[in-house]
A and B are shown apart, each in its own frame.
Chain A
Amino acid sequence: MRRLGRFLIRRRWFVLAGALVFLVVAGALGGSVEKRLSAGGFNEGSAESSRGAALLEERFHTGTPNVLLLVETEEGDVDAPAVAEVGRRLTDELAAEPAIAEAYSYWSLGGAAPLRGSDGRSALVLGRIPGNEDQVREGIEGMAERYEGEDGPVTVGVGGAAEVFRAISEQAKSDLQKAEALSLPATLVLLLLVFGGVVAAGLPLVVAALAVVGTLLVLRLFTAVTDVSIFALNLTTAMGLGLAIDYSLFIVSRYREELRAGKDVEAALVRTMQTAGRTIAFSALTVAVSLASLLVFPMAYLRSFAYAGTGVVALAGIGAVIVLPALLAVLGRRIDRFALRHRPPTPVGQGVWHRVAVAVMRRPLPVIVVVVALLLVLGGPFLRIELGLPDDRVLTEDAPVRRVNDELRRLFPNNEAGALSVVAEGDVDIDARAEDITDYATRLSEVDGVARVDAVTGFFADGALQAPAIELSERYGNDESTWLSVVPSVEPLSAEGEALVADLRAVPAPFDVLVAGDSADLVDAKETLFARLPIALGIIAVLTFVLLFLMVGSLLVPAKALILNLLSLSATFGAMVWVFQDGHLSGVLDFTPTGVIDVFTPILMFCVAFGLSMDYEVFLLSRIKEEYDVERDNEHAVAVGLERTGRIVTAAALLLALVFIAFATSEVSVVKLIGLGLALAVLVDAFVIRATLVPALMRLAGRANWWAPPRLRRLHLRWGIYEDEPLSVLDLPGAERARHLGGSPGPNDPEEAEWPAGRT
């Protein structure tokens, strides 16, 4: 770090020019990345549901209908000639849409009862856009504008999974722009206050620009080889800004501290690099590890956060450790130009955080008991977390697609659009095995939660044939094979929907089958996520432990950091379940509780929040360790460490929380949850954990904090991370680091050599 610091000072213009070139190139190449990003990536290709859907498309050119027109009339019923005429026309129009592969309706099927509402005044037109999530997303574009509204005697509303998906992504996109527009001015004001001057406040923005624009280039490169989710952009901007502020604050504070201590610009900068620079490099590594663990999941959606997260952390780290020092070298003491105020620093031992630490350490046990109890109570609801997939109810009640789907829930007890497909895996001769198919369909229709089973041999409900095969039934079979459609009577994306999938899969089939559909997607996604979760957690725990051990050289401190992090995160998750699953505060926050939490969100939040918490932990522990190494006094080290990092971590956490809280203004409840959850995680960690549990536990453990078995201590001495010490001899004129040592290696037999004398 010392050499890097000197290099950056010597070559500051070169470094800055390089950064500028990088920014321009990354902007030019990565700027257009959004077009190449995918709105999907939630499914895994090898899951049963995905294979079933692919087979259905390949062999039968069909699948679950994902476009739905709700046709309602105020005049008479849906069989009135004028209404029927419009209904048939709408069906033809929909079928003629280039994106639509098939379309049918109550009217085109000759008055199919399941497609008529219970009030007799509404009926459905169903259509399907084939392909992956991106093709569906592109295909649905503009349909709401074309079909929604009054059409002669009827009112048309557009619903279905494709429109819900489009509405959620559109809303999320505009909400995020709103959130950024809201948080930016507030962030700028806070930056001015925290950095104490116009010039200084501009520095984190430079680092943020490098991190965010650089990550766009990283994502652009990834799009050349794999699918990348569009949601990765949101993580990029939020974390890019957040980490740039964190890291810049750490560097700038230390630099000012060294200048105030009387050092010249060069010495102050070198010392800053040796201390804060090293801590940041290390902290960026721990955050990156936490985010990279998302790579163990096969879904492109989660993997994209790993690409964006590690990219943005690495670039924010490089920006803060390489570009920022070069900027400081150019600015010198002008960093305080246009300063808002010149507050003299509080002398060591008199700061608020010092007093907090001393007070807590006076009564460690009661503090631990009370705070842990509080966090456990907060975390309690987490134990009953119900994971699901988001549906239209993540939108507010006045969203058009939400209104349509709410009407569907009210008027159509059977969920036609949520039908599950049971697809034969191999070849099936439908004529020879008609009896087997009928038997199987009958058994499927007996399962709880099934409204109706449609098969090539007829329509089945409650374990009996309801109606024989009609022309429509031919779609369930061809020369090669067959499939069955199972219409549920339960909400597809719910615990009942999941139970239904399990029950259907358990029904003995006459041939190998694959169960596909929305509920099956949910079941398979959960299975994959839960199977990989322990691996991701294991990687995070082991690597973080190893990294922290390399930093502090003891066993207890890293273990404690991990446990405290988990405690703070479970409290955050508990609060999130209490709010978003149970629906408390749903009025204030304006969302509809669906009784489930999106299955991807906790995993994503865990990895992001864990990384950010570790970030603060590393800042704090590195300073405590620095003090402990000098005085070997545990309590003193904790109090001084907390005091020295107190202002920085407080400011950084508040700024980061502000960036996240802006997300809570979103009209999509999943985005609200992520924003509030991460803000809460950061605040709990920065204030509750840091102010109470860290000092209390450090005090209680005493010297044991720093213990490690001799073998590990040696290992740490050899490979651990040590702070560069300031060596005055290196500042002497003509002093240089010896690259090659001259002369002989000294006396040949050291045992016999004369003892040197003249002690100093």
Chain B
Amino acid sequence: MASNPADSDVGGGADLLIRDALEQLACVKDELFLDFSTVRRIDPHTLQEMDRLASAAQDASVRVTLRNLNAEVYKALKLSALAERFSFS
């Protein structure tokens, strides 16, 4: 289990967070927590990265839980059919 707070803002900030998460996947057991509290907005590139993260997590049998996600970003995930591939707390 790992927690990974990020200092992110509109768009690209979240990318760093996801890149770190992708790197940690190999050494995490069961569940990975990502703190999205500072992510105000995501862009199409971030969506792609999150898609990649979801696939990698599935392959590694790791559940990725997004913490403190704002409703606007959650809605964007929902509309792009990504929400069901993550857990939220």
User: Are A and B part of the same complex?
Assistant: no
Binding site for B on A (CB under 8 A): none
